[in-house]
């Protein structure tokens, strides 16, 4: 019996096709805005982690608290935006 894997060729082809649809006029399974904001978030996170690693010996407790505050603010903002999007879609479907 052949074992089924999630990352099979069929799923890889589907993913590539959906990414191509994302940047064309064809409707896509993914949201362009969410993909781009997710990529920006990951790049920002890696930048902040790199900065912390490079300056770990110079950081004070207040610097770490400030860094954590920024992290929570970014997470809260992103969560708020996602929830606002969901609410708007629900209102559109009700109309």
How many of the other CB atoms lie within 10 Å of CB of 15? 13
CB 74 within 8 A of CB 41: yes
Integer Cα distance of 61 and 68 in angstroms: 11
CB 21 within 8 A of CB 11: no
Integer Cα distance of 47 and 88 in angstroms: 32
Integer Cα distance of 58 and 88 in angstroms: 45
Instruction: Give the global pTM.
Output: 0.57
pLDDT in tens, the chain (95 residues): 566 666 677 888 888 888 888 888 888 887 777 788 788 888 888 888 888 888 888 888 898 888 888 888 888 887 888 788 778 777 777 76
pLDDT of residue 49: 86
């Amino acid at each position: 019996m052949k074992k089924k894997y999630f990352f099979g060729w069929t799923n890889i082809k589907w993913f590539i096709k959906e990414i191509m649809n994302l940047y064309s006029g064809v409707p896509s399974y993914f949201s362009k805005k969410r993909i781009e904001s997710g990529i920006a978030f990951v790049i920002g996170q890696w930048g902040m982690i790199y900065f912390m690693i490079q300056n770990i010996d110079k950081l004070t407790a207040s610097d770490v608290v400030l860094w954590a505050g920024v992290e929570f603010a970014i997470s809260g903002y992103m969560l708020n935006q996602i929830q606002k999007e969901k609410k708007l879609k629900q209102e559109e479907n009700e109309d």
